Structure formats: structure tokens, C-alpha cells
Copies of this chain bind each other. A is one copy, B any other.
Amino acid sequence: MDAATRRFLVPLRWSDMDAYGHVNNVQFLRLLEDARVIAFREWFGDERSMLETGVLVARHEIEYLAPLTFRHAPIAVDMWTTKIGGAGFDLSYEVRDPEDVGSELYARAETTLVAYDFRRAAPRRLTPEERDQLRLLEGEPVPFRWRRR
């Protein structure tokens, strides 16, 4: 795990499983949303500044590497930033077993977030404080296996 990477533990729900008995591929994106909610609170103090009044999801990319079944232990979502620009940034994820549970890597993903001012309903620029925080978390691009060339 890179120095800039932060780990967040996200609980599963039994209902995340689909009729195949695995955590459904769409629910992985839900788990990443949960991880962002937890992370943004830690990174930006009051989560409302970034999560509720500050960023829009512009893009997701996700690769599924191993099937995940419901268990009582949470999953670990490792997160770091890439491509920090004036008006947005990419958030990168690896979904893994926590150390005390196992060593499986279930998914890799990347979300492009765009800074947004919900009161004015318009794109905005990242503040210097936001950029400073995001730079502390800056790491390497996600090593996607399937990405088109």
C-alpha cells in the first residue's frame, strides 16, 4: 500500500448479494459510495463541504477481479487520488480483504469527481485547501487490466 493510500472499512449487507449468491457488481459501486462518504468526512472535516455541496460524479470505471460473498467482516477500500486538476480529480480504489480476514483483491476502480457549487448549480474550481488535501493523497494510476487502448 502506497504512502498516500488511505484504508477505510465498509460493512457489507446481506442484501448486497444477488440471486447468484455473490455481492452484485452494481453493489460494488454502492460500497465505493459508502467509502467516499466515510473518507470525505475524514479528509475535509465536515463532509457536507465536499460531499453534499461540493462534488459530482462524472465517471466510474471498475474491474471485477474475484467474487465476493457476504460475511460479517467489513471489506477494506483503499483510496488515493490521481489527476488533480483545477476543477476536479480522480479517486482510485482497491477493494480488498482487511488484513485480519484474508488477502483477496476483489476490484479496482476509479471515479472522476467534478467540483460543483450546488447553491449556484454550477461547476466551480477546487479551493486551495481542497487541492492541498488531495495532493497528500496523490498516488499512481490504477493498474487496470482490461482498459481499452
A interface residues (Cβ-Cβ under 8 A, vs B): 11, 13-15, 17-21, 24-26, 29-30, 33-34, 37-38, 41, 51, 56-64, 70, 72, 83, 110, 112, 118, 141, 146-148
Contact = CB atoms under 8 A, between A and B. Distances in A.
Chain multiplicity (copies): 4
A interface: dominant SS: mixed
Given A26-B26, A26-B29, A30-B13, A64 B72 contact: no
Given A18-B19, A64-B59, A13 B25 contact: no
Contact of A30 (B11, B15, B60): B15
Given A29-B29, A41-B72, A141-B148, A34 B62 contact: no
B19 A26 contact: no
A26 B15 contact: yes
